[in-house]
Each structure stands twice: as structure tokens, then as C-alpha cells.
Amino acid sequence: MASANPHETYGLHLQVDYFELFEFRVESHLGSGRSGDVYLACSERHEGITRAVKKASTKAEDLLVRGVSLQELKQKFYREVEILQSINFPCILRGVNLIVCPDYLAITMDYCERGPLSEGLSRVDNAKTYIISLYLIRALDYLHYHRIAHGDIKPSKILFAGFRENIRPVLAGFSAAFRLPQNSNMVRAYGQTPCYVAPEARRKSESVDALKCESFAMGTVMLCMALRTAPPPETDSYADVIKGLPGLCDGMRALMHGMVQDDPANRISISEANKLISCIDVEECRAAQVPINTANNEAVGRCHYTIPQAFFHIMCLD
């Protein structure tokens, strides 16, 4: 007799609607992605209890619109939950569970109430850039040690949670994450958002080093924080942008420059970046700061979002 598909018993299977059963109301729509829509759900029974819920319909007509089969959707959701439930790190999304309902799949997760980095780039100064980068590089180094690639690193996937001195960055958005074999980092393709995709992956090389691609993406996120805006689409080399960017301390400039090298053979890994950033002094970063509303960064004037000042006090994770 053939063994049952392990996915058929994975997660919490319900015969009724998750929101009705557990008395959650949908408070707002937080965003949309390739694999579903994310909502803020608030408990009707217990004040202050909130969850972020990613939901995707399994109805045939909705699958057709999304351009995915039911089997593909299930595999995406199962893989994302399996990976997140297998790891435990303070700056990686927690509280993740899979819900299987009659008409949809859902992933429930901790709600990061401070929002994404993409909505606060204009207020990230040098000290915050250093601190946020430090903890995200540590989180990625943890993932890579466990042979996991995030697959789509960008500011909208970096959330913030906590209050006052305990506010911290949280790496989220694991729908493109995947496991690597123990003996190779090479994959056929990597990345989903063009300006964060490494040059070799954009060229659609026969195979690319997934972990070197992750380093390029993280270096580009750091460039976004230094620019206080999205990366410039008109340049072919972020390394050249970093070389001429004012207001960076020598340590951060060298680190970012090494992470966005066009040639993956010359690009430093996340593991190497973790060692290098640990040697940089936050006071050195602050001392190099220049006013963000200058002729060198006109795009900042178009940004009106804020990041709480408490980000400077992100808790130590050691």
C-alpha cells in the first residue's frame, strides 16, 4: 500500500472558516504577493491579540487568475511553513502556522506592528543603517548555516516589531525560500525583484551561487538605507554608486562595496560580511553622517514615511 502524502496531514485542517472559528475579524489588508494576500486579524474575544494572516483561495477560478495549480500553491505554502517552523532566530519571523480551510489556505504569523523598511527608508540614518544591517546579516548567516536561502531579500520583506527599546528588524516574506543541498550552493535561477537580483542571475547564467546572490541582495538593501530611497535603476554597477556615496564611514563603505561586486568571485559572502560588520564601530558610522536632504540625494524629498527613533536602541541579540 502506498504511503500517504505527508502534506495531506500537515497543518491545522478545518471544516469551517478560520476567522469565524477563532473569532478573528479582518482589520485591514496589509499587502499582496505572488502567493497570497496578507491581512491583519484582531481577536474579538481577547483584546490586543493580533495575527498577520496570508490567505490564498483554492477555488479553481481564483487559481486560474493567479496562474498556479492547486498542487503548486500547496507546495509553496507547505515549504514556507516547514522552513520557518524549523528555525529559531530573534530577527526571523516567528509564530508561523499553516491553516487548511475548505476554500483557502492560510499562514498565520506574528504581526510586526511597526511595518516594513520600505515605508521608512527616508529616516534611516547611518547609525540605524549599521544596526539594522548588523542584525539582518546575522539572521542571513544563521539561515545560510542551516542551508536555507531566503530567495527574495528586499526592504518590503524586512519588518519591524516590538516597543520602545526592544524594537527589532524581522526578516519575513519566505514564500521564495528554499533549502540547499549540503555539497553545493548552485541553483538554476535566483531572485524575483529585478533591482535586487545579482548580475549573474539577471544574465540568466546556466547556474548561480544562491548564497552569493543573497549577499548582493542584502548589499543592495544596505545601499537603499544609505540612499534613503530605492536603488537607482539607471546604473549597471551599484559598486560604483557606493564608491562615490557621501556620508559613509570607511568600514561600511568597504563592506557594502564588497557585497555588491558584479563578479560573484569577488563578492564577499554573508558569512564574511558578518565578521566584517562586527568590527565596525557605530560611533564611526554616526560621525560620518551628512544631512540627508542634499543635492546628492534629491530623491529623499519624495519620501514622507518615518521610522521610530527607538530603532537606535535595538536590543542586543548576543
Residues placed in the known binding site = 55
Q: How far apart are the first and last CA of the chain?
A: 50
CA-nearest of 131, 133, 154 to 310 is 131
CA-nearest of 68, 40, 71, 121 to 300 is 121
**Would you state the cell numbers that stand for residue 215, as one nine-digit string?**
549577499
CA-nearest of 90, 86, 92, 112 to 10 is 86
Instruction: Report yes or no: 149 and 190 within 8 Å, Cβ to Cβ.
Output: yes
DSSP state string for 242-277: HHT-TT--HHHHHHHHHHT-SSTTTSPPHHHHHHHH
Using DSSP's 3-state secondary structure scheme, residue 27 falls into: strand
Query: Phi and psi of 57, rounded to 5°?
Result: -70, 140
Q: What is the DSSP letter of 110?
A: -
CA-nearest of 64, 24, 68, 30 to 46 is 24
**Would you state the cell numbers that stand for residue 261, as one nine-digit string?**
561586486
Binding residue numbers for ATP: 55
Query: Phi and psi of 39, rounded to 5°?
Result: -125, 150
Number of residues in the chain: 318
Distance of CA 199 to the CA centre of its chain: 20
Amino acid at 146: H
